[in-house]
Structure 1
Amino acid sequence: MSKAFEIDTLKVEPAPLHAADLFEDAIGDPTEYTRLYTGYIRAFADSTLLTQLFEPSAKSAEEADRLADEFFHRLDGLYRKSLDKCAFEIWHMTVVLRRR
């Protein structure tokens, strides 16, 4: 399959809106900022973390859920303490393949 295509275009660039920080409108409210930031990460990572990390380590589904909750609670705390170091940048990657 890899020989069926060649890379025509490959580029990475900042997103056109809120590229510097997706949640910049909430930067004045650390509680809201970290809630949005952590919620966004959880929306994309929760199922993978559950199936690949927490469930194999847990004795039950309830324990896996508790581990996930604890992970995201700690992540929220990390962001709250380090807002100046953890801006949420958005970049777009464009890959255009051409059939050979």
Structure 2
Amino acid sequence: MPKQTEFSDDLLELKAALRKNLDAMGAIAARMVVLKQFREAVLPHLPPSAAMAALKAFEWSLEESLPIAADFASLPAYSDAFLEEAAATRMAILRQQAHPKL
């Protein structure tokens, strides 16, 4: 019987760790949805000069975040998502600068 209890304890610990990770991923996903919606809602209201200022500030902030990104460099999913979101945001700002909605 001790082996079954030990196996059950290990399984419970694994389930708890998975739940914690799923909760963390859910929180991150919710934040990403809000940030994407914010980007889509705000950018159309920026005049071209403000869009360019936002792009410069964004580029600077990306440089500031590189040490954090380096911490996760061994995780391809992080690197892919980082680059994808940076490119999408950059392109959204550039589109706004090129074609402002009045």
Output the TM-score relative to the length of structure 2.
0.32
Structure with bigger gyration radius: 2
- Write 1 or 2 for the structure with the bigger share of strand: 1
Output the TM-score relative to the length of structure 1.
0.32
